[in-house]
Structure 1
Amino acid sequence: MDKEISAIQAKYEAQKIAFAPLIFQAVMALKKLGVLELMGRHYEGISIAEIIRQTGISRYGAGVLLEAVAGAGVVRYLDEHTVQLTKTGFMLHADRMTEVNLNFVNDVCYEGAKSLTGSIQSGKPVGLKKLGNWSTVYEGLSQLPDNVKESWFAFDHFYSDNAFPVALEIVFQEKPASIFDIGGNSGEWSFACCDYDGDVQLTILDLPGQLALAKRNAEARGLLPRIDFYPIDLLDERQRIPAGADAIWMSQFLDCFSEQEIRAILANVARASTPNTSIYILEPFIDNQTFEAASFCLTGTSLYFTCIANGNSKMYTLQTMTKLVQESGLTVVEVFPNIGTSYHSILKCKKS
């Protein structure tokens, strides 16, 4: 890119990065104050006086916010007194993926991101202390403040849930009678399986705090007779995954661990498997996305893992994950790339 732009343009791009945290918060303020929503209803343009009248913010407040985000391409001035959302502004107002990402960064990542340098140096999620006193975010998910928890799960579910309809068809081609849902979080995949097949039995394997949440959700859906709950800390190599599943499912799970930890977890999976067990890994891989924005979001998500989640994991490439599978006593027998309308691929694996 540097060869394609002038030094003056490069300097401008650098200033965008320098002021990015303030511009981000200006956008969040415009959303919270109802300005973007109001402008979205007046896509042809709206007077600043009308914005002030309908939202109750001061002339000063409207001025500094709108001027700042105009420089970032969020709004444009039609004249001195009238503003209009750009296409970028409309995405910030109405696009669900953008909303999920904004809330996740603001509520989960923002305060802790200043500790990124310390996290890189220590290999620990130093920024997590802004949310609570845990070693990893997963230990404290059930204890997060409601707004943080809501943003975390919305982010997690938005990207995985869109993959579920096609994923269910893939997994149930072999008509499994029992499925292990490893790292099942709130239980969404297990519930989807129960809805898809009236006979399948599920076991959710996760940390105790997460299992408590999944169990409450299962009880609310009347699914306790069909779902078992198996507490396990997969970072403790002494704890073994039980045998007996026809299929083992891991959805956006392995990206929560370092390469060394992934090898150990997959080796644990291999020990629990027979040659007939099908193992499915659902992940959004950096290197096989259709859209540039998706790859950009994934590399940004890696920084969340560094400073908030655990300090040592990231979003992986398909090539890296395939190598880790092969090094763990498993073989990738089929790849289902970019399934449905999601950003995910499925690796179907068997015991080597």
Structure 2
Amino acid sequence: MSTDDITNDLTRNTENAPQELLTRTFFFLCAALSVVTTVSIILLLVTEAAKFFTVTAPLMGIEGPTASIVDFLTGTTWQINNEEFGVLALVSATLMITIGSAVVALPLGVATAIYLSEYADPRHRAVLKPALEVLAGIPTVVYGFFALIYITPAIQMVLPGVGTFNLISASLVVGIMIIPMVASISEDAMSAVPDELRQAGYGMGATKFDVSTGIVVPAALSGIFSSFILALSRAIGETMAVTVAAGSRAQFLNPLNPAAYQEGALPMTAAMVQLLLGDITGGGIAYRSLFAIGLTLFVITLVMNVISDFVAQRYREEY
């Protein structure tokens, strides 16, 4: 490089310095805003939830009725009027909906991703993938009414004893909701697998199915597993669909009992909506229980996201 070229580069960099500084500052402020918003939400949940528990409420200047943190985490009865706040009654319903939606979404999502990545020609993929992503954009309350009007009557034709509000319907509709997330992220992970691995499999005499399931899926396993965790986190935090389809009766159910899915129950998100729409006093124990539920939900989803990041980093393939 000649001296004139070096001089021209330095001049150009000097001229662009204010623009570069402005761009860097803008992107930094965007990142800082995201961090500040997250920290603010966490502080709000922790501060308000602390007013709910007997141990920490005096430190927050709260003198009214409070709840034991042990009873909250281990209790199986949730009755606001009787001041019984056993969150396991809500967690069990959330867990059952998550398990049911996983049974629906995970195999269908992975199968859809395999088809889009390995079998569909570019013309079909250009139509199917945007259509799948449109499915993810449907308002969740519409899914709830779809479950109530179509899915529940279909279930009642097979199981006449199922009520209008039940966990089977809620699980199915949430599973349908998260299929696009599983399929889209898994398909991106499979598409990132180098074609050399596929060609090596074909060179060994493998069929299309053998290459798809024996080479591509294992190579993209970290991305597929991350899609599972993110989709299930979405299922745990789903609100409107389960509020409409699952019912409003808080009861502790055994997630391992298939018959329990025929009953209606109150998941954590629906319980928060019920409390907000009910006649609760701002600053009272029922109002503060909202934040205790929210903090519990936040911790569960945080743990799942941490697990997802760990698995993605631990088993990620470098190509």
User: Which TM-score band (shorter chain)?
Assistant: under 0.3
TM score, norm. by length of structure 1:
0.20
Q: Decide which structure has greater strand share.
A: 1
TM-score by length of structure 2 reads 0.22
